[in-house]
């Protein structure tokens, strides 16, 4: 099982993949760049990312579907790309 920092990094990298970008280099959680405001993704892609991440969190952390969905929505609100 991955640690929480690795899980968050994986989730953020996958977000960029769903949005059609390559993730910026480095640790996305610690970067000082305003990357989450400079990229966009379609709302349908965001929904697919949240769904994928929910299943991923259930698998990696053993969270319930509701709790994993809540955590994904919090991650999206805090660090998610702008949607259109």
Q: Is residue 15 part of a domain?
A: yes
Q: What is the pLDDT of residue 20?
A: 94
Q: Containing domain of residue 60, as a range? A: 4-23+34-83
Q: Is residue 47 part of a domain?
A: yes
> What's the number of domains the chain is made of?
1
- Consecutive H or E run containing 82: strand 82-83
Q: Is residue 60 part of a domain?
A: yes
Across residues 57-84, what is the average pLDDT? 95
Q: Is residue 28 part of a domain?
A: no
Q: Is residue 29 part of a domain?
A: no
Across residues 51-57, what is the average pLDDT? 98
Higher pLDDT, 53 or 25: 53
Q: Is the pTM for the entire model greater than 0.75? A: yes
């Amino acid at each position: 099982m991955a640690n929480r920092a690795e899980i968050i990094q994986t989730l953020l990298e996958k977000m960029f993949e769903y949005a059609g970008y390559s993730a910026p280099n480095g640790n996305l959680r610690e970067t000082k760049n305003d990357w989450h405001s400079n990229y966009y993704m379609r709302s349908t892609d965001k929904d697919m990312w949240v769904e994928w991440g929910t299943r991923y969190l259930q698998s990696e952390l053993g969270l319930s579907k509701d709790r994993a969905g809540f955590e994904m929505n919090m991650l999206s609100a805090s660090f998610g790309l702008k949607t259109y």
